Amino acid sequence: MNKHTKAPWIFKNGKVWAGVIWIADILQIRKSALETAANGRLIAAAPEMLELIKGHVGPTALNPDCTEYHFRRLNREAAMVALIAKIEGV
């Protein structure tokens, strides 16, 4: 698995940048300029979103005292783990 280019990424003038490193062009094909810019900002936020998700996944021990809250939290954590795997290509 390859690592992504380090954050922060920014969206400027139709491109996503990591400092002076060009990451991607965000093309406006059958989309409005506003939607294209929103897509660029979302892509630029990806490394920070990944780190935030990773920071919220922690060891949660199952025990007989688990409440409904714990089960909901485990489900959210499982979803975040799956998302991290999808992002990192694992």
pLDDT band at 17 (very low <50, low <70, confident <90, very high): very high
Phi-psi category of residue 89: left, alpha or beta, with phi > 0 → left and psi -120 to 50 → alpha: left
CA distance 11 to 17: 6
The pLDDT score that the predictor gives to residue 16 is: 93
CA distance 53 to 19: 23
Cβ proximity of 39 and 31 under 8 Å: yes
The CA radius of gyration of the chain, in Å to the nearest whole number, is 17
Model confidence pLDDT, tens digit, residues 72-85 = 777 778 888 888 88
Model confidence pLDDT, tens digit, residues 22-67 = 999 988 887 788 888 888 998 998 888 888 877 766 655 445 566 6
Distance from the Cα of residue 33 to its chain's centroid: 23
Query: Structure pTM?
Result: 0.65
Name the residue ranges covered by the structural domains of the chain.
Answer: 1-46, 57-90
